[in-house]
Chains A and B, each alone.
Chain A
């Protein structure tokens, strides 16, 4: 049983780690170096918690993984692909094909329905659209994900995103990040707006869906309380040589 032909996705060697940072340096224009990471490797299927204080460069790290930002030094490989080697358009396509993002808040276009928000991910990626279609049609795949995340499609799928609660919006965002089975899910403090109970329930749903598709999870947060739920915890302060230098 072979999945969708490999040629259709922008190349990603299966044996390679999901994410690999090699002597990566990054600074925002006109500012001191924010990130200087000697080595960071995240294996395929691994669930990694990246912990760091606000302003420590967590979001920048995610930007580097997403290929929206390029490092000034070193090499970022995602699924075995050196992102800097791709052109800007190819990088955008690579992100669309392989990486699902969930942000802290404001994940959704308020004027689209929950289902249309989920389907937006398929709109920019042909492989993910195909994968969703194999699963019985893109709309059906969206509804299935919404249902699995506790949002009964008949009640929620057609509602404009603006009418949903924050917790519901975050689950819609997860459905969008996972539709079409991308290899990597990157989450940037998606639970910060939720209370403790909702937080645990949310993570449980997230992990269940990621386990089903063997999706790699990179989850960044400042809240060390969540760390126990993950396979591994990476403290940004420990791997970021720039920050260590600043602190010294």
Chain B
């Protein structure tokens, strides 16, 4: 029966191939969308990994995550340096990285931090930050660029940049008197780090020594060189990342921070907060999946049409088989089998197409979006999706098959061609 179905299909190769191609394209599309969707979610969920707690002034968890990690919006309040040093010294704390935000460079956020940031910040599957060129900052006026900053602004090592007070794109308040020099460019990560200019906390202090409440103190200009010799220990920072010695201690430390007496603080688990944030933006991804499911339906409808158009031609085939003693069930089975074979062939071709496209695009996608598209075998979800498409294909084939079955019964042995 399989041989018969295959030979019959080969006879109608062009129609069959087109039908399979339609299905292949829909399958490739739905799987591709699914892949990008899950990789995006994956990459998003692991924007920060290896960090046990993020601590900032008392605020909502998502708000803290947004400004501390995604550099969106501003902190409602700062954390005092004293609090930071005290918490960092707690016995459960393995490492800590302070973050100071508030300045920008041509639209990109500037983040004051310490060299520990490069040592402890992890993203994705515990990837450490890597330098595409140069090294971490060392001097007060050294800057390290994220990959996107360097690419968009065309900066290289040694470029001098001027930071802007505040986060506006056009600054009336440039820190022109204290330019920074690019000493390092990070490799792409697909996280907000790519769009960040990192400088030392001392650098942030230095450009603000002659400022107060957001404006320059008139007549109190301090030169870059003079600033070097001043005390550049910050008074406040925006937030800090904590790594604990044991993850078991996470909730205990979180509670202690939330109950911290000297200052109202909030500590969040990055994974949990990222999950909450994803749920906010997840509607778009559901819409995307819905669209690709519709594409598959269109593909299947195309297959039903193709099968129906060959039906007239195949009545003759069916009548011959009937005359030879074939039960109408066989006629039904042949058509359903054909639909199944076409869907299956379409799925195989679709998978091949998807992997080919993935292999071709993954380099560019990594460079452009920092999204690591793995050439992994189909996930259980994808396998289930393929199974569902196959079932849908067989069901779609059952419609013309049922018609053929009834006609085969009604036609008798006459071929009204």
Taking Cβ atoms with an 8 Å cutoff, the residues of A that contact B are 59-60, 62-63, 66, 68-69, 88-89, 92-97, 101, 103-104, 106-112, 120-121, 123-125, 176, 188
Point out residues on B near A: beta carbons under 8 Å: 7-8, 10-11, 316-317, 320-327, 412-415, 417
The 8 Å CB contact of B323, one of A89, A103, A111, is: A103
User: Is B327 touching A109 in the complex (CB atoms < 8 A)?
Assistant: no
* Cβ contact within 8 Å between B325 and A96: yes
B413: A residues at CB distance < 8 A = 59, 62-63, 66, 68, 101, 103, 188
Given known contacts A59-B413, A109-B8, A111-B8, A95 and B325 CB-to-CB distance under 8 angstroms: yes
What is the bound-complex CA distance between A93 and B326, given in angstroms?
8
Query: Which chain A residue shows the least CB distance to B415?
Result: A106
- 6 interchain residue pairs of minimum CB distance: A96-B325, A111-B11, A63-B412, A124-B325, A101-B323, A59-B414
Nearest chain A residue, comparing its CB with the CB of B329: A89
Q: Which residues of chain B come closer than 8 Å to A108, judged between CB atoms?
A: 320
Q: Note all chain A residues with C-beta closer than 8 A to B414.
A: 59-60, 63
In the complex, besides A92-B322, A112-B7, 5 extra interface pairs with C-beta distance below 8 angstroms are A59-B412, A110-B11, A111-B7, A111-B8, A111-B11
Contacts of B415 in A (CB 8 A): 103-104, 106
Question: Is A125 a contact partner of B316 (Cβ separation < 8 A)?
Answer: no
For the complex, give the distance between the alpha carbons of A92 and B11 in Å.
Answer: 27
Q: What A residues does B325 contact at CB under 8 A?
A: 92-97, 124-125
Q: Tell me how far the C-beta of B192 lies from the nearest C-beta in chain A, rounded to whole angstroms.
A: 61
Q: In the complex, which residues of chain B have a beta carbon less than 8 angstroms from the beta carbon of A89?
A: 327
Given A103-B415, A106-B415, are A68 and B322 neighbors across the interface (CB < 8 Å)?
A: yes
Closest to A59 in B: B414
Choose from A95, A106, A112 the contact partner of B417 (Cβ within 8 Å): A106
CB A115 to nearest CB in B, in angstroms, measures 13
The distance in angstroms between the C-alpha atoms of A66 and B320, with both chains bound, is 13
In the assembled complex, the Cα of A8 lies from the Cα of B336 at a distance in Å of 31
- Which residues of chain B are near A68, meaning CB under 8 Å? 322-323, 412-413
Q: Collect the chain B residues with CB atoms within 8 Å of residue A109's CB.
A: 7-8, 317, 320
B412 in contact with A120 (CB, 8 Å): no
Closest CB in chain B relative to A113 CB, distance in Å: 10
Contact A111/B10 with A63-B413, A69-B412 known, Cβ cut-off 8 Å? yes
In whole angstroms, how far apart are the Cα atoms of A116 and B412 in the complex?
A: 24
Q: How far is the CA of A227 from the CA of B233 in the complex (A)?
A: 119
In the complex, what residue of chain A is closest to B1 when comparing beta carbons?
A123
The docked-state distance in angstroms from the alpha carbon of A109 to that of B413 is: 15
Nearest chain-B residue to A89 (Cβ)? B327
Enumerate chain B residues within 8 angstroms of A110, measured Cβ to Cβ. 11
Contacts of B321 in A (CB 8 A): 120
CB-based nearest A residue for B8: A111
Q: How far is the CB of B303 from chain A (nearest CB, A)?
A: 20
B409 closest partner in A (C-beta): A68
Asked if A124 and B324 sit within 8 Å, CB to CB, the answer is yes
Which of A111, A124, A176 has most B Cβ within 10 Å? Answer: A111
Of listed B317, B323, B326, B417, residue having the most chain A CB within 10 A: B323
The winner among B7, B8, B321, B412 for most chain A CB atoms within 10 A is B412
**B10:A92 contact, CB within 8 angstroms:** no
**A184 CA / B179 CA spacing, docked (Å):** 104
Task: Tell me, in angstroms, the Cα distance from A97 to B325 when the chains sit together.
Answer: 8
Considering the chains assembled together, what is the distance between the CA atoms of A96 and B316 in angstroms?
18
